[in-house]
Each structure stands twice: as C-alpha cells, then as structure tokens.
Chain A
Amino acid sequence: MKWAAVPLAALVLYPVIRPFDTYQQTVLLLAFLLAVQAVSWNIISGYAGYVSLGHSAFLGLGSYTAGIVGVHTGLNPFLAAPLGGIVAVLGALVLGAVVLRTRGHAFVIITIALLLAMQVVATNWSSLTNGSNGITLELPFWSRDFQNVPFYYFFLLLMFATIGFSWAIRRTKFGTGLVAIREDEGKAAAIGVDTTRYKIVAFCCSTFFIGTAGAGYAYFLTFLNPVGAFGILGSVTIVLSALVGGRGTLWGPVIGAFLVQIASELATVYGGGSQSRVLLFGVALVLVVLFLPAGLLPAISARVRRKSTVEYTDQAGALASARVEVSVAAAAPGPILEVRGAAKRFGGLVAVDGADLTVQRGSITALIGPNGSGKTTLFNLVTGAMRADAGEIWFDGRRIDRLPPWTRGHLGLGRTFQVTRLFKSMTVLQNMVAPLPDGRWRTMLAGAVRGHEADRARELLGFVGLARFADQPAGSLSYGQQKLVELAQVLMMEPKLVLLDEPAGGVNPSLVGRICDIVRGLNEQGVTFLVVEHNIPMVLGLCDPVVVFSRGKPIAEGPPQAIRADPVVLDAYLGEEAIADALT
C-alpha cells in the first residue's frame, strides 16, 4: 500500500499547486467518480463474482434523491449526499433480496433489465421525477473562482473512503466468504457461509458510496434527466474499468478507472467526438474479456512473483501418529441421522427413490453401491445442496430438510466432496479458516484470520502433513494434497457428523491407512462418519455397518462380513467373479 502514497499525495495537492487547471481537474474528478463506482462494483462483482451490468442505476438513484430533495426542501446536494447513499442501499436491499436468488447469466440479464426499466420508470413517473423535463439543481454556491475544486475534493474524499471500505471488507471473514462464494458457491454454503445474507449485504455495500457520489454528481451536472442518469454506457464503463485493472483486487478497479477515463477523454478530444467512444469501449471490452480477463494488476503481479520451488507432502510427518484433539458437543439420544423416504428426480430420471437410512451416533457407517445408484445425490439431499422432492431428514433430533446448507453446517454437519472443492485463489490457510462455525453477525465481521483459529488451522494442517503449504494458493496443490486439506478443513467446523465422499480416491495406499487411522481416532472422540467409498477393502476394514445402495434406495444393511457374502449385494454390485471368490 505504501507505493500508493506518492500518487495519492500528488492528487490531494494538485489543486493547491495549480488551482486554475479546471479542465484537468474536471477529467480527474470524473476519474475519481469512476473509481468510486468501480471499487464499489468490485465488492459484489469482483469479490463475490456476481457480475452486475446495471450498476450505474445506483448513481442515478443517488442523483435523483439529491435532485428531488433539493427541489422540495432546498437542501444543498452535498448535505443530501448521505441520503443518496441510503436510498441506493435501500434500493439494493429490495432488489437484492429478490434478484440474488439467481445465478450466472440470469443475474447479468436481470441487472441490465433493471437498469433499463428504471429509466422507463423515471421517465414516466413525472410527479416524482419530473419525467423527461428533468430536474434542474441550483448552481453551486461558491464563487466562480473556485470552479470545480470543491467537486474535486468531494469525489477524492469519497474515493479514499470507498477504497478504505473495500480494504476493510477484504480483511474480514465477510470478505473471504465473498471470495468463497465466487469460487464455489455450493461449497461456501456447505462450510457454513450464509450465502444469501452475504450476497445481499455485499450488494448493499456496493451501492452506498455510489449513491452518495450520485448526489455530488447531480450537483456537478446541474441537470438530471432519466436517459442520462440511467444509461447503459455508464454501467459498461464501470465494468470495463474494473476488468481492465483487475477484477477482485483492491487497487485494480482504481487503476482501471483512471485508465478508462483518460482514454475516453482522449478519444473524445482527438478521436472524433463522443461517437467514437462507443466503438472504443466495445473493442476494449472484447479485447479485455478475451485476452486479459483477470485484468492488468494480476497479470503484472503474476510476472513479478517468483516461481516457488516444488514441495512434496511431508509424508513422514503425515504418517507419524500425532493425535489431534477434537471436541464433540454433548449428544442427545437416538440416531444422529435419519433419512425417511427421501426422493429426488431429475426430469424422468429417479436418482433417489424413497430411501430410508439411519446412521447411529458414534458409528462409521459405509454407503456403497454401483455408480449412478444415487449415493452422491443422497449426500446432496442430506447436506442441503439439493432440495428433496419428498421425505424427511432428521439430524441430531432436528428436522433439517427445510434448512439451508449453511445452517445444517452450523448444526454440526460436515462434508467432503468426491472431486475436491477448495477455493483455488485463496491460500491453504485461508481455505482452512474459511468455514464459519455459526451464523452470527459478529463472526461475519471479525478478522479473517484470527490468532486462535490460525493456530488450530496449522495444527490440523500439520496433522495431515501439509503444514508447509499453509501460504500456497490452494490451486497449486496436487489432487491428493487437496483431498487432505479438505478433510482438515471440515474438521475446523467441529462437526458431529462428517459425510466423506470417496475419501481414499486419488490418495496413495499408505496414506489410505493413515486416513483410516485419522477417521478412527476422531470417531473415538465422538465424531460420527458416513462414508461413500469404492475401495472395498478399506470399507470392510474401517466401517460398520455397511449400507448398500442400488437404484436410488438401500437394498441391504449389515456388518461388513455379512454384506461381503450377501448374494443380493454381490449380484447387484460386486459381480460374478466376486461371487466366485466368496465361495472359494
């Protein structure tokens, strides 16, 4: 951050040193305004990954708030500015609660539609907005000698505030949660991140400073109209700035904003007027998306960062029999997990067909079956990644099939995935501290990596032999290494029941034994396990009871040896050679 000190100081002092460079100051203050918007946009679209193509609507909302308030009360727009911010946030709250339930292309399309719809509403709701007559604001109250200097400082201050805000968010668990949502929303939900709340809060955060800036902007323009306030080109400029500079980084949007504003100004002055601006933006957007999707800042820092030397898993360390302590909350009587009549269809395909399953507290239960028998779907129903079409799911005495995934995680349900789902752009340590133990606001706003948590994280990492990788990006680990991290990550949540989806897949044989030891050790301390595995020797050695799934429901259940010899199971799953083996 220190490198920013010189340019920022220069910006602060510029009007003092050269007070009459009105034109240059105007270009700069528009760049500040764009930076405020780009940095704010970055919170929902860079950190959280929900690309909004309608964000300039909030600038318009702020502008109109200041205009309408000014017309009715005469309040100076600078004073009305925070009100503009509040209106923008309220707008985001209402819209976000409705719109953030969609994902992918749906969200982007909706944001475009919302922006254009707002333009139509602003044009036609003349009693409030004066329609296309527009709203004329009072002229600035200061002497003409000061020109645009007050606006310059207004937007500069806002820019500082917005950058600081973005920086603060990044440092909290809220910030890492947003990145988790961007990387893998389902996984984030599974580790206790209340994705709905996070997205709405992020959306609101991304609008306050824009709304405030909008009020100042209205004052600067002296005139508001629906087409100008809710134009799509404004949104495109914001997106372009953040993309060019580096979406998801702190300073990327700022640098991008300056580049885009200055380029746009140059194009207008030298490149044949405002018409060429559309062409410039179009070409720039295409080029950036194709060739520089991460933006300039990450591209530069990728070149600068030294390649790290390859490190191998601390196999010896992993195989050492260190014990890790976990605590499991006091148990209520009864089975820890009960699935009654769960069903799930995908169109014509029935994946889970009225399945009943009971997992006894303190057991290591195995769930085996041929591919396509519905085991992973059942896991998804239990953890909440999918909604069951029918049936009930009871966990620890509570009915959970209507609860969102993160609440189930807070109640003590943990899961690993068949194909590991770590957050690739975060470091291993950040991945470890990403899970949220509870749904409280205080937890959300706390610092991302707290001392006690970091210690525990390192302890668990050491336990799986990966302590040396704590500061590596998770994406640079091998598949087997990632599996171990995911297991350690789950333990951070102090789960009562852990669903392991093929834990031994992709891990070398001696480590399979280690994993079994880890599971047993945890099980002795009270953690229950439900394991899906294809590695039958491992299953038969580790688990009891074994449940066999076929075509969406269990067909057999019993101790491993019984299952091994059960002809129904052998026929459905293990095949004729195994039958022959069993009989010899």
Chain B
Amino acid sequence: MAGLLSRLALVTTAALATAVAGCGERPSASSADSDKPITIGISLPLTGDFSQPGTQAKRGYEVWVNMVNAKGGILGRQVELKITDDASNQDTVVADYTRLITQDKVDLLLGTFSSLLNYPASAVAEKNGMLYVEPAGGAPRMFERGFKYLIYAQPATAPKQADVMLEWVKSLPADQRPKTAAYPTQDDPFTRPVIETLQAGLEALGVRTVYSTVYPPDATNFQTIASALAARKPDLVAQGAVFEDGVGLVRSLKQLGFSPKVLFQTSAPSNAGQYSDGVGAANTEGVFYTVSWNEKAKTPLNEDFVAAYGKAYNGETPAEDAADAFAAAQVLQAAVVAVGKIDQKALADWLHANAVETILGKLTWDETGAPQSQFLLAQWQGGKVEIVAPADRATTTTVIHPKPDWK
C-alpha cells in the first residue's frame, strides 16, 4: 500500500512539474509591444444582486471600446477588453482582479460596480501598483485608505451626492416644505452615507424624522416598511436604494395605499427603462434622484455616446451606470494619451494633477482620488427624465411638487 502510494505520488509530482515548467516567466518591465492590442482587465457583477447596474456598466464599456477602436485605438494600438463576472461577490472580485493582473497580465484596469465590490478590488490594484479608475464606488471609506492609484470617475463622493437635493428643499417657500420625513435605506456602504447626510441636513432645516430604518441587501419584501410609512405618513421619503429595492418599495407603497409628497431615491430611478417598467410608467411621475449624467447634456461626446448606445441596444436610452462606465474609460484614455505610455505611476500622477472632460462634465480629483464636482438633481416628468438643478445644467424650469398619487 505504501509502495503503491509512493509511486503514485512520484508520478503525479513529476507530471505536474513538467506541466508547470512551461508556464510562468519573470515579469519584464512594462515595455509595450506596439503591435499587440492594449488589454484592459475588468470584473463586473453580471449576475447576482447587482446584475442590473453591472450589465449596464458592461454596455457602457463596450460602447466606448468600439468607438475608440473605430477611431484608431489608443497610442495607435487597438484596445481589447477582458471582462469577467464576479457575481456580485467580494471574494470573487478579488480573485478576478488578481487573475487579470497576475495571470492574464493585462495592461490596464477599469473598475467594477458598487462600493461593496470596488473596496476589495481597488486594494488588489493598489497592492500591485496598478491604476484603478472606477465608475462607481463613492463610499467615503474608499478614500480614507491612503491609496495612490485610485480614481473615482463620477462628479462627487457619496456624502456629497444629496447636497443638491438639500439645496432644492431649502429653496422651497416655508409653507411648501415637507414637515416630516422618513429614511429607509439599504445596508450598503454607498447608499447609507448619502441618506445619512441628507437626513442630517434636513433635520438641521427643521424637518422632523418620523421613521428611519436600514434593511439588508437581500430584502425582497418591503410591505412591512411600507406599512410603517403608511402609518406615519411622512411628507418626504428618502430611500437609499440600489435597484430592486427601489422598485420593491414603490410597489409595496402602492399596495398599501400611501404616496408621499416628495419621493427621493438613490440610483434606482436612473435605470430609465427598467425602472419605469418595474414601477409602471405613470408611477414614475415626480420621483427625484441625483444623477451624475443626463442624456441631453451638452458635454463632449455625449451625443455620440447616446447615439451609439441606442444603435447597439434597440434604441434604448443609456442608464446612468453605462454612462459612468463610459466616463471612467474616457478618464483612463485621457491619461494614457497625455502621458504617452503605459506607466501606472505616471498615469496616476497625471490624473491627480489634471482635469478630464467626460460626458459627465469636467472631472478633477484630490490626492485621495475623490472627485470634486457636483451632482445633478433629476426628476421623472411625463415619462421622461429632466434635470431640475443646479440651474446652469437644468433642462427645464418646471419642478413637480407635490408628487401625484399612484395610478
């Protein structure tokens, strides 16, 4: 028995050794072979809790790469995307980026969706000294780690997102302002700071909080929250939602027959078609949300982006997540073109010191990678999205207030 196992062990080890002998080599300095395409490694939640925004982000990246390659690529080389699915799972996203960096040896990286996933992924990139431009991931903690290679390609971080909503409430005459408010939010590192900042701001304005709760990410039944809201009847409801939960709460509110005067939701309403399908087109009327992008904005390349997206995907309007992904890729592209070569440190340094024009507008960053601009306040009106604040970016002066009842 021992003899047989001994022989087995020797043979197996020898076989494995031979197999391994062929692979792996000393990593050379990153001098690019100018005929090979530039590979960009990306992991996205194409399945799982975040599959909705994740799929949108993938589309955004793909529209970008097609546009770039049609114009000759970057630095004269075609660009190739290597996208894997992390299933909205943090362990998987770590493994994915590790593999992309160490095994597939991609030239560049682009980020994934949600702070939850970008947290660990950005750490992997930092560990390996690679630039990490992320289209999502605005949770404040992201930027408290002293990372040098992290860049967030949206106008502002989570706590600042609700500022523009707060401003709007402030701008209302006293008799039209909401007197009471409720704050249900998903237990998510991004949505919570947004709602918490909004709550603090509104409370300082004198709006009384009648209900506030945090629900787990996998919650699917919102009837109990809706019944609490229906019992307390707040004037304003601000929900920290991702997507499913945003749709779910609206449905439950409808079932229990309560419609607040002001409804603000993060993220969910930005999913255009899916959102209006989910809650019913008539019920979107008057819903507020903050958004980093608007399809009518006159920012560079925005029209081309919307057109290309519509052509590729059945005439649909892009979701915000697709636009954010496109913008992140634009940021990366700008840095590479400006620096002239693929040197991770040089790229990171350049981005910290310069501004980039994207379809979201002009983006700049501080030394932690946190962006310094402002979000837009959007509202669904007549089945379409309009920007209502800030004034210089608004697409309409009409603001629907109070929100009409459910249909």
Direct contact of A and B (CB under 8 A): yes
Could you list 16 examples of A-B contacts with CB < 8 Å?
Answer: A3-B5, A3-B9, A18-B24, A20-B26, A23-B103, A134-B189, A136-B141, A136-B145, A139-B123, A221-B120, A222-B123, A228-B89, A268-B95, A274-B85, A274-B86, A274-B92
Given contacts A23-B103, A134-B120, A274-B86, 17 further A-B contacts (CB under 8 A): A3-B6, A4-B9, A6-B10, A26-B98, A26-B102, A132-B216, A133-B141, A134-B116, A134-B189, A136-B145, A144-B129, A222-B124, A228-B91, A231-B91, A269-B99, A274-B92, A275-B87
With contacts A221-B120, A222-B123, A273-B84 taken as known, whether A3 is within 8 angstroms of B47 at the C-beta atoms is no
**How near does chain A come to B127, taking the closest CB pair, in angstroms?**
5
**How near does chain A come to B355, taking the closest CB pair, in angstroms?**
29
Q: Which residues of A contact B (CB under 8 A)?
A: 2-4, 6-7, 10, 18, 20-24, 26, 123, 131-134, 136, 139-140, 144, 147, 221-223, 225, 227-228, 231, 268-269, 273-275, 300-301, 304-305
Q: In the bound complex, what is the Cα–Cα distance between A274 and B84 (angstroms)? A: 9
Q: In the bound complex, what is the Cα–Cα distance between A231 and B123 (angstroms)? A: 21
What residues on B are CB-neighbors of A134 within 8 Å? Answer: 90, 116, 119-120, 189
Contact across chains for B119 and A123 when beta carbons are under 8 A apart: no
Q: At the interface, yes or no: B174 with Cβ under 8 Å from chain A?
A: no
Q: In the bound complex, what is the Cα–Cα distance between A6 and B16 (angstroms)? A: 13
Contact across chains for B85 and A144 when beta carbons are under 8 A apart: no
**How near does chain B come to A17, taking the closest CB pair, in angstroms?**
9
Q: In the bound complex, what is the Cα–Cα distance between A300 and B24 (angstroms)? A: 34
Q: In the bound complex, what is the Cα–Cα distance between A304 and B12 (angstroms)? A: 19
Q: At the interface, yes or no: B27 with Cβ under 8 Å from chain A?
A: yes
What residues on B are CB-neighbors of A131 within 8 Å? Answer: 187
Q: In the bound complex, what is the Cα–Cα distance between A26 and B91 (angstroms)? A: 14
Q: In the bound complex, what is the Cα–Cα distance between A131 and B141 (angstroms)? A: 13
**How near does chain A come to B150, taking the closest CB pair, in angstroms?**
12
Contact across chains for A223 and B123 when beta carbons are under 8 A apart: yes
What residues on A are CB-neighbors of B231 within 8 Å? Answer: none
Contact across chains for A6 and B127 when beta carbons are under 8 A apart: no
Q: Which of A21, A140, A222, A305 contacts B1 (CB 8 A)?
A: A305
With contacts A123-B216, A275-B85 taken as known, whether A225 is within 8 angstroms of B116 at the C-beta atoms is yes
Q: In the bound complex, what is the Cα–Cα distance between A2 and B5 (angstroms)? A: 9
In the A-B complex, the 9 residue pairs with the smallest Cβ-Cβ separation, listed nearest first, are A223-B120, A3-B6, A21-B24, A23-B103, A222-B123, A3-B5, A22-B102, A133-B189, A228-B91
With contacts A3-B8, A10-B17, A134-B119 taken as known, whether A274 is within 8 angstroms of B89 at the C-beta atoms is yes
What residues on A are CB-neighbors of B85 within 8 Å? Answer: 273-275
Interface centre among A22, A231, A274, A275 (most CB of B within 10 A): A274
Contact across chains for A221 and B94 when beta carbons are under 8 A apart: yes
Name the CB-closest residue of A to B126: A139
With contacts A139-B127, A304-B1 taken as known, whether A10 is within 8 angstroms of B13 at the C-beta atoms is yes
Interface centre among B23, B27, B187 (most CB of A within 10 A): B187
**How near does chain B come to A192, taking the closest CB pair, in angstroms?**
33
Contact across chains for A228 and B90 when beta carbons are under 8 A apart: yes
Name the CB-closest residue of A to B92: A274
**How near does chain A come to B1, taking the closest CB pair, in angstroms?**
5
Q: At the interface, yes or no: B353 with Cβ under 8 Å from chain A?
A: no
Interface string of B135-170 (1 = CB under 8 A from A): 000010100010000000000000000000000000
Q: In the bound complex, what is the Cα–Cα distance between A10 and B13 (angstroms)? A: 8
Q: At the interface, yes or no: B70 with Cβ under 8 Å from chain A?
A: no
**How near does chain A come to B54, taking the closest CB pair, in angstroms?**
13
Contact across chains for A132 and B187 when beta carbons are under 8 A apart: yes
Name the CB-closest residue of B to A221: B94
Contact across chains for B25 and A227 when beta carbons are under 8 A apart: no
Contact across chains for A132 and B116 when beta carbons are under 8 A apart: yes
Q: In the bound complex, what is the Cα–Cα distance between A140 and B89 (angstroms)? A: 23
Interface string of B219-252 (1 = CB under 8 A from A): 0000000000000000000000000000000000
Q: Which residues of B contact A (CB under 8 A)?
A: 1-2, 4-10, 12-13, 17, 20, 23-27, 47, 84-87, 89-92, 94-95, 98-99, 102-103, 116, 119-120, 123-124, 126-129, 139, 141, 145, 187-189, 216-217
What residues on B are CB-neighbors of A10 within 8 Å? Answer: 13, 17
Q: In the bound complex, what is the Cα–Cα distance between A144 and B345 (angstroms)? A: 14
Name the CB-closest residue of B to A272: B85
Q: In the bound complex, what is the Cα–Cα distance between A269 and B104 (angstroms)? A: 11
**How near does chain A come to B374, taking the closest CB pair, in angstroms?**
25
With contacts A6-B13, A18-B20, A23-B99 taken as known, whether A136 is within 8 angstroms of B2 at the C-beta atoms is no
Q: In the bound complex, what is the Cα–Cα distance between A231 and B139 (angstroms)? A: 24
Contact across chains for B91 and A221 when beta carbons are under 8 A apart: yes
Q: In the bound complex, what is the Cα–Cα distance between A147 and B27 (angstroms)? A: 12
Contact across chains for B2 and A3 when beta carbons are under 8 A apart: yes
Q: In the bound complex, what is the Cα–Cα distance between A203 and B6 (angstroms)? A: 32
What residues on B are CB-neighbors of A300 within 8 Å? Answer: 4
**How near does chain A come to B126, taking the closest CB pair, in angstroms?**
6
Contact across chains for B5 and A132 when beta carbons are under 8 A apart: no
Contact across chains for A20 and B24 when beta carbons are under 8 A apart: yes
Q: In the bound complex, what is the Cα–Cα distance between A578 and B7 (angstroms)? A: 69
Name the CB-closest residue of A to B8: A3
Interface centre among B10, B91, B116, B139 (most CB of A within 10 A): B91
Q: In the bound complex, what is the Cα–Cα distance between A222 and B27 (angstroms)? A: 23
Interface centre among A10, A26, A222 (most CB of B within 10 A): A222
**How near does chain B come to A281, taking the closest CB pair, in angstroms?**
14
Name the CB-closest residue of A to B101: A22
**How near does chain B come to A64, taking the closest CB pair, in angstroms?**
14
Q: In the bound complex, what is the Cα–Cα distance between A18 and B90 (angstroms)? A: 29
Contact across chains for B20 and A21 when beta carbons are under 8 A apart: yes
What residues on A are CB-neighbors of B89 within 8 Å? Answer: 227-228, 274
What residues on A are CB-neighbors of B10 within 8 Å? Answer: 6
Name the CB-closest residue of B to A231: B91
Q: In the bound complex, what is the Cα–Cα distance between A231 and B94 (angstroms)? A: 16
Q: In the bound complex, what is the Cα–Cα distance between A73 and B103 (angstroms)? A: 35
**How near does chain B come to A220, taking the closest CB pair, in angstroms?**
9
What residues on A are CB-neighbors of B4 within 8 Å? Answer: 300, 304
**How near does chain A come to B407, taking the closest CB pair, in angstroms?**
35
What residues on B are CB-neighbors of A231 within 8 Å? Answer: 91
Q: In the bound complex, what is the Cα–Cα distance between A26 and B216 (angstroms)? A: 32
Q: In the bound complex, what is the Cα–Cα distance between A139 and B127 (angstroms)? A: 7
Contact across chains for A7 and B20 when beta carbons are under 8 A apart: no
What residues on B are CB-neighbors of A136 within 8 Å? Answer: 119, 123, 141, 145
**How near does chain A come to B402, taking the closest CB pair, in angstroms?**
34
What residues on A are CB-neighbors of B86 within 8 Å? Answer: 274
What residues on A are CB-neighbors of B103 within 8 Å? Answer: 22-23
With contacts A23-B102, A228-B90, A301-B1 taken as known, whether A7 is within 8 angstroms of B13 at the C-beta atoms is yes
What residues on B are CB-neighbors of A7 within 8 Å? Answer: 9, 12-13
With contacts A3-B5, A4-B9, A123-B216 taken as known, whether A223 is within 8 angstroms of B189 at the C-beta atoms is no
Q: In the bound complex, what is the Cα–Cα distance between A221 and B124 (angstroms)? A: 8
With contacts A225-B90, A227-B90 taken as known, whether A123 is within 8 angstroms of B187 at the C-beta atoms is yes
Q: In the bound complex, what is the Cα–Cα distance between A221 and B98 (angstroms)? A: 10
What residues on A are CB-neighbors of B116 within 8 Å? Answer: 132, 134, 225
With contacts A132-B187, A228-B89, A301-B1 taken as known, whether A223 is within 8 angstroms of B119 at the C-beta atoms is yes
**How near does chain A come to B212, taking the closest CB pair, in angstroms?**
15
With contacts A136-B145, A144-B128 taken as known, whether A6 is within 8 angstroms of B139 at the C-beta atoms is no
What residues on A are CB-neighbors of B87 within 8 Å? Answer: 273-275
Name the CB-closest residue of A to B3: A3
Q: In the bound complex, what is the Cα–Cα distance between A305 and B5 (angstroms)? A: 12
Name the CB-closest residue of A to B19: A24
Contact across chains for A222 and B216 when beta carbons are under 8 A apart: no
**How near does chain A come to B47, taking the closest CB pair, in angstroms?**
6
Name the CB-closest residue of B to A306: B1
What residues on A are CB-neighbors of B187 within 8 Å? Answer: 123, 131-132
Interface centre among B9, B85, B124, B188 (most CB of A within 10 A): B9
Q: In the bound complex, what is the Cα–Cα distance between A395 and B187 (angstroms)? A: 62
What residues on A are CB-neighbors of B2 within 8 Å? Answer: 2-3
